[in-house]
Amino acid sequence: MERRAVFKSRWLPYALIAPQVLLVFTFFYWPTGAALVWAFTLEQPWGGGSAFVGFDNFAAVFGDPLYWASVGRSVFFAASATTLAMGVALLLALFTDRQLSGYRAYRFVTIWPYAVAAPAAGLAFRFIFASEAGILAFLNQISPGLWNPSMNGNQAMLTIVVCYSWKYVSYNFIFLLAGLQAIPRALVEAGAMDGAGVLRRMRDIQLPLLQPTFFFLLVINLTESFVDSFGIVDIMTGGGPAKATNLMVYKIYFDGFKGLDYSGAAAQSIVLMVLVMALTFVQFRFIERRVHYR
């Protein structure tokens, strides 16, 4: 954080952060701490007892020959989902911001996907992607077997990337739009006076000024695509076919929430958290340097 702090007070900053810090401690750190302790034990789900096992759970995670494949898949998923969701959102936001006629309608409709509850979205995408009865089924009429995510792992991965991004496009869109609107119109107008065309102004004025928002979304998108993607996997593929969409977080969800292996899930959670934190750190260290806050 490069900003020079400008106000000085002995107590005020602490008073300002106190409410959120209290909430975060009570509802996140305390329970999370309790859950992560399980990573070093074998915990009986109904609370009948637990035995301390040191790093055995981690040894089990890393000793699984298929674990690294799931790490690779998670990284691939996060990278492609983030790129897709942010790229599309940026395009839509920049063009909506031109405020041509009808932009209010565009803006309204583009926010919708975020408001759709999970079961409804799941059903809709099932009809779109189903290989025999869906909208994409026509591909199989062109060439039988061309589209079959129930057997083809890459296609299954594609479906979850698209479904996941669909929702996050609107998430990103709304923040990017807000970021664009916070850019002083005078700056853009000055650009126009100098003879810069629309696209040129986007590139030279709006995009650079959008960097802080963009960085915010990049970090959030990457983090969430690692951590928040189990729901869509569960609805769409269940981690299949043959583990092709078995993301790290889905395995955590499956082992811990469904399979009641609390200790295994806790150990995997720690691994995932370390990975995401490292990634976040890299982003702050190397990418934020290039962000111009003013």
Residues in 213-232 at the binding interface with other proteins, rule: CB under 8 A: 213, 215-216, 219-220, 223-224, 227-228, 230
Q: Report if residue 240 touches other proteins, rule: CB under 8 A.
A: yes
Token digits of residue 277: 């934190």
Residue 142 binds other proteins (CB under 8 A): no
- Kindly state the helix (H) or strand (E) to which residue 180 belongs, with its residue range: helix 153-181
Q: Write down the least CB distance from residue 289 to other proteins, Å.
A: 13
Q: Using CA atoms, how far apart are residues 39 and 56, in angstroms rounded to an integer?
A: 9
The per-residue DSSP string of 238-291 comes to: TT-STTTT--HHHHHIIIIIIT--HHHHHHHHHHHHHHHHHHHHHIIIIIGGG-
Judged by CB under 8 A, does residue 245 bind other proteins? no
Site size toward other proteins, by CB under 8 A: 148
Cβ-in-10-Å burial (0-12, 13-18, 19+) of 225 comes to: buried
For residue 54, the minimal CB distance to other proteins (Å) is: 13
Pick from 145, 258, 278, 282: which binds other proteins (CB under 8 A)? 258
Task: Specify which residues 42 forms β-bridges with.
Answer: 51
Residue 121 lies near other proteins (rule: CB under 8 A): yes
If binding is defined by CB under 8 A, does position 283 make contact with other proteins?
no
Whose Cβ is closer to other proteins: residue 30's or residue 76's? 30
Under rule CB under 8 A, residue 280 binds other proteins: yes
DSSP state of 45: T
- Which part of the chain contacts other proteins (CB under 8 A), choosing from 67-75, 79-87, 237-245? 237-245
Residues 74-113 that bind other proteins (CB under 8 A): 88, 91-92, 95-96, 98, 100, 102-113
Task: Provide the H-helix boundaries in 64-148.
Answer: 67-96, 103-115, 118-129, 138-142
Quote the least distance from Cβ 76 to other proteins, whole Å: 18
Q: Which of residues 179-218 bind other proteins (CB under 8 A)?
A: 179, 181-186, 189, 192, 197-199, 212-213, 215-216
Q: Which of 29, 36, 32 is nearest to 58 (CA)?
A: 36
